[in-house]
Amino acid sequence: MSDLEDPSARARGVRYSRELEGHLTWLDTFSGTALGVLAVASGIYTYLGVSSLLDDNGAMSAFAAIAYSVAVSVGIFVFWSYMLRLFPAVRGTRARMGLLGAMGLGSIAIIAMSSWLNAAALAGSAAVEQHLAKTVQDYQVSLERAHEVALSAQGLERDVARVRQSFEDLSEQEATGNLSGLAGRGAVFRVLRQKSSELAGLEAQIASQTPLVESAFTEGNAILSRMRALTVEAGPVEARSVEFSEQAVRLAGLITQMRQLSVASLVERAAQDLSASVVLPELDGRSEQTRGDQAATITSVLEVLAQRAQTLGRAAQAVQDLPTAPDTTYTPISSADAVILYARNFIPSWAGAIAIDLLPAVLVFILAITQTAIRTGREGTAVEDSLTLAELRAAIAVMKEMDAAMKEEPGQRATPLPQKTAAE
């Protein structure tokens, strides 16, 4: 005998169904209220999120934010009320799939119009602070890179000093007659001194830039410290963002200044001029042989100049080939945009914002499963097996009334009509 034919199994199924129906009846007493509370809570956070997007703080903006949040609350309440009533009630697979698709589209719409604003209200300030902190890191990288390049350019001072020293040594050798064989301060000596003087001027110019570079770097670090403090200070993040923007502009100017303080291009141009712009003095030898020796020595000096210039130019070019400091610009951002931009860092806030809107979906599935269990428990049972005691009493009372009515009806037909008297 199958379960459907077994009276005891049918009775257990009916009792099981009645028990579930009793639970549902009790749950229905506050399910609507709970859904309304969730919808109102979502509307409140939506209002906070919308308020953060509106630039104007006037009455019209407040009214617009309230209207939007009320519309969201009503929409959430109506949508999930439909789902809670209709989805568990339908039985066909196609109907279930259709309502499931409608519930998916509605959930996406709720996330689009409410959940991201809820996340902005929950974590908007923290997301803006995250944006400020990331901007500080970008500016720090840019400042350190600009300082590194500037220091590398300042290091060219040693290369310039080495070349200058070599020309001074050659001039001393010429003065003692160990270079061209003619002691004194003649044409060769003057050529060597000319180039050493040019390099000495370049060396002094490079040295004068060092305090400026260090001063700019020190001031930049002070600005970075203030910007870091602004990211964690107490108070509204909007007010801090205004000062942060001002400090960012100052720091950007300092980074640009440090880029301009780099002397690599100056050294490269000086290296090109070192051998190209040589003022040759008049040969002052007394004899033709002496003047020939001077010319030969000057030619050798020019070759040395070209070699030193090439070496110095390569050093300057190596500094110029270094990666430059990346351009960093602080862009103010709203709390809603910050939550979206840094969503990966605020997963718990996003989860809470979405859960408060989509939690009724869990209730929909719970009701659907329970209704299916109730139908399964009642399957194969006759109507009289599923009657409750109250329904049975009501049915008996109706039957008694019907019996009484049927008994009274023939009696009313048998009652004789009153006879007319003779006088009438």
Residue 28: what pLDDT? 84
| Tens-place pLDDT, residues 251-264 | 988 888 888 888 88
Can you give the pTM of this predicted structure? 0.66
Residue 2: what pLDDT? 45
> How many CB atoms sit inside 10 A of residue 378's CB?
17
Task: Please list, residue by residue across 229-247, b when 16 or more beta carbons sit within 10 angstroms of its beta carbon and e when fewer do.
Answer: ebbeeeeebeebbeebbeb
| 125-334 carries CATH number 2.60.120 | no
Residue 421: what pLDDT? 47
User: Would you write out the chain's pLDDT as a tens digit for each of its 424 residues?
Assistant: 444 456 666 666 667 677 777 778 888 888 889 999 999 999 998 888 888 777 666 677 788 888 999 999 999 999 999 998 888 888 888 888 999 999 999 999 999 888 888 888 888 888 888 899 999 999 998 998 888 888 888 887 887 788 778 777 777 766 666 655 555 556 666 777 777 787 788 788 888 888 888 888 999 999 999 999 988 888 788 888 888 999 999 998 888 888 888 888 878 887 777 665 554 455 555 556 565 655 666 666 667 677 777 777 788 888 888 887 778 888 888 887 888 888 888 888 888 889 889 989 999 999 888 888 877 766 655 555 555 666 667 777 877 778 777 777 655 554 554 554 444 4
CA pair distance 105, 140, nearest whole angstrom: 45
Tokens at residue 122, please? 């929950």
Cβ distance 83 to 99 under 8 Å? Answer: yes
| Torsion region of 330: left, alpha or beta (phi above 0 gives left; psi -120 to 50 gives alpha) | beta
User: What residues have CB less than 8 Å from 329, skipping those under 6 apart?
Assistant: 248, 252
> How many CB atoms sit inside 10 A of residue 170's CB?
23
User: What residues have CB less than 8 Å from 130, skipping those under 6 apart?
Assistant: 338, 342, 345
| Tens-place pLDDT, residues 112-125 | 888 888 888 888 88
Residue 423: what pLDDT? 41
In the chain, which segments carry CATH 1.20.1260?
Answer: 125-334
Tokens at residue 120, please? 């902005």
Cβ distance 156 to 81 under 8 Å? Answer: no
Angle between the N-to-C axes of helices 237-260 and 187-232, in degrees from 0 to 180, rounded to the nearest 10: 170
Residue 63: what pLDDT? 85
3-state SS, one letter per residue, for 84-114: HHHCCCCCCHHHHHHHHHHHHHHHHHHHHHH
Return the C-alpha torsion angle 31, 36, 41, 42, nearest 10: 100
Cβ distance 142 to 326 under 8 Å? Answer: yes
Tokens at residue 419, please? 């006879």
CA pair distance 187, 310, nearest whole angstrom: 24
| Tens-place pLDDT, residues 350-406 | 888 898 899 899 999 998 888 888 777 666 555 555 556 666 677 778 777 787 777
Residue 188: what pLDDT? 63
Residue 80: what pLDDT? 93
Tokens at residue 6, please? 């077994």
CA pair distance 67, 47, nearest whole angstrom: 9
| The residue type at 248 | A
Tokens at residue 34, please? 């709970």
CA pair distance 357, 65, nearest whole angstrom: 18
